[in-house]
A and B are shown apart, each in its own frame.
Chain A
Amino acid sequence: MRLPDQLKETPSQTAGPYVHIGCFPRMCGIEVYEHEIGADMVSDATRGERIEIRGTVYDGTGAPLRDALIEIWQADAEGRHPGRGDPRGLADPAFTGFGRSAGDPDTGEFVFQTIKPGRVPFKDGKPMAPHITFWIAARGINIGLHTRMYFPDEEAANAEDPVLGRIELKSRIPTLIARPEAPGVYRFDIRLQGEGETVFFDI
């Protein structure tokens, strides 16, 4: 029950075309921050299988977004989340779980160097298939879009994943499954609108 004295969430607004000033100042020649957050997800000490994720965000005309902010959040190789809120104990201290990319300013292609996540329990304790949470903000996007990337080489786990199972229109499930591009390299393109529109979640 929501009590009357509760506050309302601050409304979202678009990140606008100049999100890079705040989130990737170096791209704008603004040398203010020593560390840009989300730049290095893994180090030599990180446990797990190294993977690369490449992709592009497309608008309803099929044009790539060259001004998007793409963030990812994921569990470590054992399926535990770094940061806050995982009640099951400590995740790999050499893994941040959080990545941020602006995409290439000319092509819009984003790249993440990370590790393949382990399986995280669903609410009933059964494991979800390995997945990575994506969050997209950009000019023209009024409220950030959440989606998930799943792995093409996890067919059995994907088939029993409770979140994929909630998608009634089965023909839309492939929009959440990355394509293998090379050993250890996955392509995950995101289509905001129209044919092949990516599934987005209200989480």
Chain B
Amino acid sequence: MRNSPGGLPGAFFARDRDQHPPAYAPGYKTSVTRSPTKPLIALDNTLSEMTGPVFGHDRLGPLDDDLILNFAKPGELPVGPRIVVHGRVLDENARPVPGALVEVWQANAGGRYRHRKESYLAPLDPNFGGCGRCITDEEGWYRFRTIQPGAYPWPNGPNDWRPAHIHFSVFGHGFAQRLITQMYFEGDPMIWKCPIVRTIADPAAVERLIAPLDWANTIPMDARAYRFDIVLRGRRSTLFENRLEGN
């Protein structure tokens, strides 16, 4: 049943694990020793899973959603293609998820991350940090301004490269909705070669991680736009107060 307008929010729909990567996906080598071997134990949502933290706007700074400016020295700018990445956070009932914290991190235009364990020979950009965050508005919209990241090589197979990607971490309204994923860019030929992308079996599920170029929202003489909608688990409604689990 769909949410009824008067009902309290109830348990989340069960996760369709066929749409997600399995824990053990040997083409992505690190998963071999980091995947549980025993089945997950199914647990109907209790209040511990149906509730979730709230992150207020007071925790965010004015440039937190602007990766072009939030690490740049005064009067300087990072190198690379300027883009806007925006979209909506919705649930499986196609309802907006307002007040959702969205965090992103990424490499710079050359595919280099600002991290002490990263040793790729492409240089750091002195004006690019690579992190951003924002909170969705009442209609579930989020928006970042950033530099399009470059592809980068990684030690998996002898010649594996990640497609250009932006990491997303999202909090919905319940902790059971917690999700980390990656956004890819329309038309990138690296996507279908990537062992991390290929941990997802269903090509239609992969397609949902590929952001199309959003020509209408591209800003002339400034920045191209990419549209990436994120869908979190939907939930039932609780019709009766003595049934916390929902209908």
Contacts and interface: CB of A to CB of B under 8 A. Distances in A.
Instruction: State which size class the interface on A falls in.
Output: 35 or more
Interface string B127-170: 00111010000000000000000000000000000000001010
B50 to A, nearest CB: 5
Given A22-B104, A23-B103, A73-B53, A201 B35 contact: no
B61 A32 contact: yes
A9 B18 CA distance: 11
Q: Dominant SS at the B interface?
A: loop
Interface of B: 1-2, 8-9, 12-17, 19-23, 25, 28, 30-38, 40-55, 59-61, 63-64, 70-71, 90-94, 101, 103-106, 113-118, 129-131, 133, 167, 169, 173-176, 178-182, 196-197, 199-200, 205-206, 208-209, 230-234, 238, 241-245
Given A11-B208, A30-B114, A34-B61, A59 B47 contact: no
B160 to A, nearest CB: 13
Given A73-B52, A123-B243, A141 B31 contact: yes
Given A9-B92, A32-B70, A142-B31, A73 B40 contact: no
A63 B164 CA distance: 30
Nearest to A194: B37
Contacts of B181: 10-13
A53 interface: no
B36 A85 contact: no
A92 interface: no
14 contacts: A7-B234, A10-B232, A12-B181, A14-B196, A19-B169, A25-B131, A84-B52, A84-B54, A86-B47, A120-B48, A123-B44, A141-B23, A163-B46, A193-B34
Given A32-B131, A201-B42, A123 B245 contact: yes
Contacts of A16: 167, 182
A22 B115 CA distance: 11
